Amino acid sequence: MRSAYRRLVNLSLALAVAAGIAGGGTALARSLKDVKPHNGVIRAHTMPIQGIDVSYWQGDIDWRQVREAGIHFAFIKATEGGDHLDPKFRQNWNAAKRAGVARGAYHFIYWCRYASEQADWFVRNVPRDPDALPPVLDLEWHTHSKTCPQKISRELALKKTKIILEAMERHTGKRPIIYTDPAFHREVLQGELKGYQFWLRSVAAEPSKIYPGRPWAFWQFTTTGSVPGIKGKVDRNIYNGSPSDWDRVLKWLEASS
Over range 27-42, report the average pLDDT. 86
Q: At what angle do helices 243-256 and 2-19 cross, to 10 degrees?
A: 170
Q: Give me the pLDDT at residue 252, please.
A: 78
Q: Give me the pLDDT at residue 123, please.
A: 98
Is the pLDDT assigned to residue 10 strictly greater than 80?
no
| Domain coverage including residue 173 | 2-256
Q: Give me the pLDDT at residue 29, please.
A: 57
Q: Give me the pLDDT at residue 53, please.
A: 98
Cβ neighbours around 153 below 10 Å, total: 9
Residues near 159 by beta carbon (within 8 Å), at least 6 away in sequence: 115
Side-chain half-sphere CA neighbours of 158 within 13 A: 12
Over range 58-64, report the average pLDDT. 98
**Residue 19 pLDDT grade (very low, low, confident, very high; cuts 50, 70, 90):** very low
Split into its structural domains, the chain has a count of 1
pTM of the complete model: 0.90
Q: Give me the pLDDT at residue 257, please.
A: 63
**Residue 23 pLDDT grade (very low, low, confident, very high; cuts 50, 70, 90):** very low
Q: Give me the pLDDT at residue 18, please.
A: 41
Q: Give me the pLDDT at residue 100, please.
A: 96
Kind and range of the H or E run holding 178: strand 177-180
Over range 10-36, report the average pLDDT. 56
Is the pLDDT assigned to residue 181 strictly greater than 60?
yes
Distance of CA 168 to the CA centre of its chain: 14
**Strand partners for 239:** 218
Cα 150 from Cα 143, distance rounded (Å): 6
Side-chain half-sphere CA neighbours of 57 within 13 A: 10
* Mean pLDDT, the chain, integer: 90
Side-chain half-sphere CA neighbours of 45 within 13 A: 22
Is the pLDDT assigned to residue 28 strictly greater than 80?
no
- Contact 143/187 with Cβ under 8 angstroms? no
In the chain, the N- to C-terminal Cα span, in Å, equals 10
**Strand partners for 125:** none
pLDDT tens for each residue of 237-253: 999 999 999 999 888 77
What CATH number does residue 247 fall under?
3.20.20.80
Q: Is the pLDDT higher at 29 or at 154? A: 154
Residues near 230 by beta carbon (within 8 Å), at least 6 away in sequence: 52, 54, 58, 61, 62, 66
Q: Where are the alpha helices (DSSP H) in 149-242?
A: 154-172, 182-184, 207-210
Over range 74-93, report the average pLDDT. 98
Indicate which residues carry an active-site annotation: 53, 140
Task: Report the share of the chain in percent with pLDDT over 70.
Answer: 88
